[in-house]
Amino acid sequence: MLSRLRDLERRTRPRDPAFAAALARRWAGLPDVVKTPGQVLGRFAAGCEGTHGVFPACNLACTPCYHSRDANRVRVDGAHTREQVEAQMALLERERGPRAHAQLIGGEVTLLPPDDHAATLLIMRRHGREPMSMTHGDVDEEYLERLVLGPDGRRRLRRVSFAAHFDMMMFGRRGIPRPPDEAALHPYRRRFAEMFARLRRRHGVRSFLAHNMTVTPANVEQIPEVVREVARMGYGMLSFQPAAYVGDERRWRESYRGGDVGPDAVWAQIERGVGRPLDHHVFENGDVRCNRTAYGFYLGERWHPFLDGDDARDLATRDAFFRHLSGVGFGGTPPAVLAAKLVRLAVGRPRVVGIALAWLVRTVRRVGVGALLRHRPRPVTFVMHQFMDAADVAPAWDLVQRGITSDDPGVRATQERLAACHYAMAHPEDGTLVPACVQHGVLDPAENAQLKVLLPMPSVRRG
Ligand code: SF4
């Protein structure tokens, strides 16, 4: 009994010393250019994580495709996935601390048998990771039920997170193999979100859904319409990724560069869809040349930021939030444990309660009491993530490996972005973490060539 109480006391301590140490290490390693007042890395989170080399194959064809040309020659193998994810998560836990969000990503996650998929999510949770499964969204409801319920029909996952990638450059989706435009995909986006609403109603499984979309000159002007429609479908995050020259060059179909698909242009299109400016400096995740983020919520048709970047009092609230809540570890902490941590924090630092209440009153005034009474708030985060071209990453990474900072402003900018990378992948074989840009742009081809030998596709017998 005493030891259980001690364990409870330790788990509900507001600041987790291991997490606080990981944050301090992360902050110390960031380049000065990203140490801005709104920087989240090193203050609140150590970054986002992803898996690699665990199930590279996919059954759609996209242009561009970030996977190397051998990816589809690697057999999906549940035992390999579990073993690799275990090793990668153990390293991430050691290096990045006990709590983080991590993406179960590779090729198409639903090519994994449901039992292996569920077991892998549980491995990630055991390492303090809140997993998000990355899919193209062409999934049957039966698969999702078998994922969350297990062979005995009993619920084995109470909560799942999925990021579904939908855009008109993806070919082979059942029912719409060649989408003529983004709007034609809306029924498929809606169907995907509705399956999770039913999972909740029928089986009590909660979910968080993100919607990802690659942006090229072909669909950039359709972003506002996508934002307006998809934001009401049940997705909690809408992420737009300007295309980069990464992966299989046979799938690079058009020019992905130019003013119309640069970060500013894409962000402006998102703002058009939201119907208001989005301040991406209030919170910054790594380098803003890689990531832009705006956190907020819809009330009816109107989106409101959690913090108003034009209000000095809101910015002071953010600073206090970083000061007092750093090291708590929100991502991946079970809700009941998190609530207990916050209660203990409030008791120890009553000033925090005053700051939070003042923010709450300001926010209610800003959005209007009437709107709050009429509508339930729906949190929706907007993201733009710009991967870098493999041709830029390779030389910059080579210099990083040799401890050289380039004099060339372009190469140095790439090095800074890599140093501030928000999205890490783990290599247990040598104990290193690498940015996802390095994984996809530099390491994937050799890794998949090895996997093709280790996990060959079953050969088809003739005659
Ligand atoms: S370095 Fe690459 S993977 Fe990392 S945050 Fe920047 S664009 Fe993303």
Residue 107 to residue 103: CA distance in whole angstroms: 12
Contact criterion met (CB below 8 Å) for 144 and 164: no
- Give the closest residue to 82 by CA, choosing from 58, 57, 113, 59: 113
The DSSP bridge pattern shows strands 237-242 and 206-215 to be parallel
Give the mutation target among 417, 418, 433, 442 for probing the ligand 1 site: most ligand atoms within 8 A of CB.
Answer: 417
Taken as a whole, the chain contains a residue count of 463
Atom number in ligand 1 closest to CA 417: 1
Is the model's pLDDT at 116 over the cut of 90?
yes
Each residue's pLDDT tens digit, 435-462: 999 999 999 999 999 999 999 987 655 5
Each residue's pLDDT tens digit, 129-171: 999 999 999 999 999 999 999 899 999 999 999 999 999 999 9
Ligand 1 mean position, distance from CA 423 (Å): 6
pLDDT band at 331 (very low <50, low <70, confident <90, very high): low
Torsions phi, psi of 231, nearest 5?
-65, -15
Q: Which distant-in-sequence residues (6+ apart) come within 8 Å of 388 by Cβ?
A: 244, 246, 290, 414, 417, 437, 441
Query: In this predicted structure, what is the pLDDT of residue 189?
Result: 98
Ligand 1 mean position, distance from CA 65 (Å): 16
Q: What's the topology of domain 47-307+377-453?
A: TIM Barrel (3.20.20)
Each residue's pLDDT tens digit, 189-243: 999 999 999 999 999 999 999 999 999 999 999 999 999 999 999 999 999 999 9
- Whose alpha carbon is nearest atom 2 of ligand 1? 437
Atom number in ligand 1 closest to CA 386: 7
286 Cβ closer than 6 Å to some ligand 1 atom: yes
Atom number in ligand 1 closest to CA 285: 5
Each residue's pLDDT tens digit, 6-47: 888 888 888 888 899 999 999 999 999 999 999 999 999 999
Domain boundaries, the chain: 47-307+377-453
Ligand 1 mean position, distance from CA 290 (Å): 6
387 Cβ closer than 6 Å to some ligand 1 atom: yes
Atom number in ligand 1 closest to CA 387: 7
Q: Which distant-in-sequence residues (6+ apart) come within 8 Å of 447 by Cβ?
A: 52, 53, 68
425 Cβ closer than 6 Å to some ligand 1 atom: no
Atom number in ligand 1 closest to CA 286: 5
422 or 250: whose pLDDT is higher? 422
Each residue's pLDDT tens digit, 359-387: 999 999 999 999 999 999 999 999 999 99
Is the model's pLDDT at 348 over the cut of 70?
yes
Atom number in ligand 1 closest to CA 291: 5
pLDDT band at 463 (very low <50, low <70, confident <90, very high): very low
Ligand 1 mean position, distance from CA 255 (Å): 21
Evaluate if pTM is beyond 0.85.
Answer: yes
44 Cβ closer than 6 Å to some ligand 1 atom: no
Ligand 1 mean position, distance from CA 442 (Å): 13
Each residue's pLDDT tens digit, 280-296: 999 999 999 999 999 99
278 Cβ closer than 6 Å to some ligand 1 atom: no
147 Cβ closer than 6 Å to some ligand 1 atom: no
Which whole-number Å values give the CA distances from 372 to 175, 231, 273, 355, in the listed order? 39, 18, 22, 21
397 Cβ closer than 6 Å to some ligand 1 atom: no
Is the model's pLDDT at 103 over the cut of 50?
yes
Atom number in ligand 1 closest to CA 422: 5
| The two three-digit tokens of residue 381, written as one number | 């985060």
The DSSP bridge pattern shows strands 237-242 and 302-305 to be unpaired
Q: 431-439: long-range contacts at Cβ-Cβ below 8 A with a sequence spacing of 24 or more?
A: 431/91, 433/91, 433/92, 433/95, 433/96, 436/50, 436/387, 437/246, 437/387, 437/388, 437/393, 438/393, 438/397, 439/52
Q: What is the mean pLDDT of the chain?
A: 93
| The two three-digit tokens of residue 343, written as one number | 């209660």
Ligand 1 mean position, distance from CA 395 (Å): 15
Each residue's pLDDT tens digit, 74-94: 999 999 999 999 999 999 999
Residue 63 to residue 75: CA distance in whole angstroms: 22
Return the HEC string of the chain. CHHHHHHHHHHCCCCCHHHHHHHHHHHHHCCHHHCCCCECECCCECCEEECCCCCCCCCCEECCCCCCCCHHHECCCHHHHHHHHHHHHHHHHHHHCCCEEEEECCCCHHHCCHHHHHHHHHHHHHCCEEEEEEECCCCCHHHHHHHHHCCCCCCCCCEEEEEEECCCCEECECCECCCCCCHHHHHHHHHHHHHHHHHHHHHCCEEEEEEEEEECCCCHHHHHHHHHHHCCCCCCEEEEEECCCCCCHHHCCCCCCCHHHCHHHHHHHHHHHHCCCCCCCCCECCCCCCEEEEEEEEECCEEEECCCCCCHHHHHHHHHHHHHHCCCCCCCCCHHHHHHHHHHHHHHCHHHHHHHHHHHHHHHHHHCHHHHHHCCCEEEEEEEECCCCHHHHHHHHHHHHCCCCCCCHHHHHHHHHHHCCCEEEEECCCCEEEEHHHHHHHHHHHHHHHHHHHCECCCCCCC
- Whose alpha carbon is nearest atom 6 of ligand 1? 290
Ligand 1 mean position, distance from CA 83 (Å): 26
